[in-house]
Amino acid sequence: MSTVSLLSANSYDLKSLRISIEKLLEPLGGIDSFVKSGDRVLLKPNLLTAGRPGKECITRAEVLYCVASLIMEVGGKPFLGDSPAFGSARGVAKSNGYLPILEELNLPIVEFHGKNYDIACKDFNHLRLSKEAMEADVVINLPKVKSHMQLTITLGVKNLFGCVPGKMKAWWHMEAGKDKERFGAMLVETARAINPELTIIDGIIGHQGNGPSNGEPRFLGILGASRDVFALDLTMAEILSVNPDWVPTLVAQRNLGLTTQTSAINFPLSHPRDLYVNDWELPSALMPIDFGLPRVLRSTFKHLYIRLVKESLG
Yes or no: say if 221 and 17 are a contact pair by the CB < 8 Å rule.
Answer: no
Q: What are the tens digits of pLDDT across the range 224-243? A: 999 999 999 999 999 999 99
The confidence score (pLDDT) of residue 177 equals 56
The confidence score (pLDDT) of residue 39 equals 98
Instruction: Concatenate the DSSP letters of all residues of 236-254 into one string.
Output: HHHHTT--GGG-HHHHHHH
Q: Measured in whole angstroms, how far is the alpha carbon of residue 149 from the centre of its chain? A: 16
The confidence score (pLDDT) of residue 102 equals 92
Q: Which of 266, 189, 254 is nearest to 227 (CA)?
A: 266
Please state the rounded mean pLDDT for residues 269-273. Answer: 97
Give yes or no for a cis peptide into 212 (omega within 30° of 0). Answer: yes
Q: What are the tens digits of pLDDT across the range 73-83? A: 999 999 999 99
The confidence score (pLDDT) of residue 304 equals 41
The confidence score (pLDDT) of residue 285 equals 75
> Is 30 a residue whose pLDDT tops 50?
yes
Positions of E strands within the chain: 2-8, 40-45, 77-82, 109-111, 114-118, 126-130, 138-142, 144-148, 152-154, 198-208, 216-226, 265-266
Reduce the DSSP state of residue 173 to 3 states and report it.
helix
The confidence score (pLDDT) of residue 126 equals 82
What is the DSSP code (8-state) at residue 44?
E
Domain coverage including residue 60: 2-312
The torsion defined by the Cα of 25, 31, 32 and 38, in degrees rounded to 10, comes to 170
User: How far is 127 from 96, CA to CA, in rounded Å?
Assistant: 30
Q: What are the tens digits of pLDDT across the range 128-138? A: 999 999 999 99
The torsion defined by the Cα of 236, 3, 222 and 85, in degrees rounded to 10, comes to -60
The confidence score (pLDDT) of residue 287 equals 60
- How many domains does the chain divide into? 1
> Is 262 a residue whose pLDDT tops 90?
yes
Q: What is the CATH number of the domain that holds 48?
A: 3.40.50.11440
Yes or no: say if 20 and 246 are a contact pair by the CB < 8 Å rule.
Answer: no
Predicted TM-score (pTM) of the model is 0.90
CA 67, 70, 74, 79 torsion-angle sign:
positive
- pLDDT, the chain, mean: 88
In 10 A of CB 243, how many CB atoms? 10
